[in-house]
Amino acid sequence: MLVNWSLAAIHLLAFALGFWAVLMRGTALSRLAAGTGDAGRVLLADNIWGICALILLITGALRAFGGYEKGADYYLHQPLFHLKMTLFVLILLIELAPMITLIKWRIAKARGAVPDTGRSMLFARISHVEALLLVLMVIAATGMARGVTFG
């Protein structure tokens, strides 16, 4: 029982912190695009967002398929779980370009070079879309927790 509760708490906290981090990354990218920000803030928020995404993936997989919670059979037959996973995959797909670019920024900064920040506004928008998708994931999760089904 304590493990289930702990996994659920960590999972929910990762949603909350991840939501904040991806919004902060978007804000920092917008400021950078406007000439009033710095890449360091973007990279810090991105680090937190990445850690939270990893925690969500690990705790979610443990809860759904690791013998905790309701079990794989429940989740695999729950339409809201499929919606939640679709949203997660969508986040991963649209995150690819910002992730690759921000890795390049880190490499450039480590070499003492100035990163190419030309797509900062695009990545700010992507960050805000990801935040919206996280909210939709939480809505799907609350439906799952209450046993909402369609059929």
Whether 11 and 59 have beta carbons less than 8 Å apart is answered as yes
| 36-45 pLDDT per residue, tens | 988 999 999 9
* Whether residue 151 has pLDDT greater than 70: no
d(CA 57, CA 41): 24
What per-residue confidence (pLDDT) applies to 75? 85
Cβ neighbours, 10 Å, residue 57? 13
**What is the DSSP code (8-state) at residue 115?**
P
Domain regions of the chain by residue span: 2-145
Q: Tell me the C-alpha distance between 25 and 137, whole Å.
A: 19
Pick the range with the lowest mean pLDDT from 1-15, 20-34, 60-74. Answer: 60-74
Encode pLDDT of 23-37 as tens digits: 999 999 999 999 998
For 18-33, give the DSSP string. HHHHHHHHHHHHHHHH
User: pLDDT, tens digit, for every residue of 89-145?
Assistant: 999 999 999 999 999 999 999 999 989 999 999 999 999 999 999 999 999 999 988
Rounded to two decimals, the pTM is 0.91
**Cβ neighbours of residue 21 under 8 Å, at least 6 residues apart?**
45, 46, 48, 49, 52
